[in-house]
Amino acid sequence: MFRSFIVDIVFPLIFFLILRSILRSIFAPPRNAPRPTAPPQEPTVVAGGELKKDPVCGTYISTSLAVTRKVKGEVVYFCSNECRDKFVG
């Protein structure tokens, strides 16, 4: 009985596992292979917008992306909140 269990169940199971391992190593991609990535997305900023100079650091910034502050009735454009705070403070 024990012998029939080994011959009928254990040997076929071992054979199946070895065969599966060999086939996976042949047909599966390497584990360290780089995964495909999504193509880079286009920037959301509209090209050709008006540029303004930041009065604190001198960086030119698009008016659509700039941090604005109204000073003496005039809109001033800044590249960041830090530059705006330095200008105001």
pTM: 0.47
Mean pLDDT of the chain: 85
Q: Tell me if 53 sits within 8 A of 59, measured CB to CB.
A: yes
Q: Is 7 exposed, middle or buried (0-12, 13-18, 19+ CB in 10 A)?
A: exposed
Q: Which residue has the higher pLDDT, 68 or 2?
A: 68
Instruction: Report the C-alpha gap between 85 and 65 in whole angstroms.
Output: 17
pLDDT digits (tens, 9 = 90+) for 54-88: 999 999 998 888 999 998 899 999 999 999 999 87
